[in-house]
Amino acid sequence: MSSMKRLVLDILKPNEIENATFARTLADLDGVEGTNVSLLESDKEVQNLKITIEGEAIDETAVADAVENLGGTIHSVDEVVCGERLVEESSTHQD
């Protein structure tokens, strides 16, 4: 099976957990080389984050467990890139 190189998630998390904590926790997982956490929306109790994870062999189960342990919920998996190299999305006429 080919390894996962990029995973983009839409996450809902409580405000009490710092965004940097999410970034550091996910970056410290085996097979992850870096993370990017962007705030999409915030209210009094929760925040909606876009999290991009890149690495040589991302374990999506370990990522999901880490998100859950931090009190977050995965709303959607917005992008997955697998294989020997990163393949960027191509634009189409519908774009």
pTM of the model: 0.90
> Mean pLDDT by 10-residue block, N- to C-terminus, for the chain (95 residues)?
93 95 96 96 95 96 97 96 84 76
Q: What are phi and psi of 60, to 5 degrees?
A: -65, -30
Domains of the chain from N-terminus onward: 4-82 (3.30.70.1340)
- Predicted confidence (pLDDT) per residue in 37-58, tens digit: 999 999 999 999 999 999 999 9
- CA-CA distances (angstroms) from residue 80 to 18, 36, 88, 89? 25, 15, 10, 10
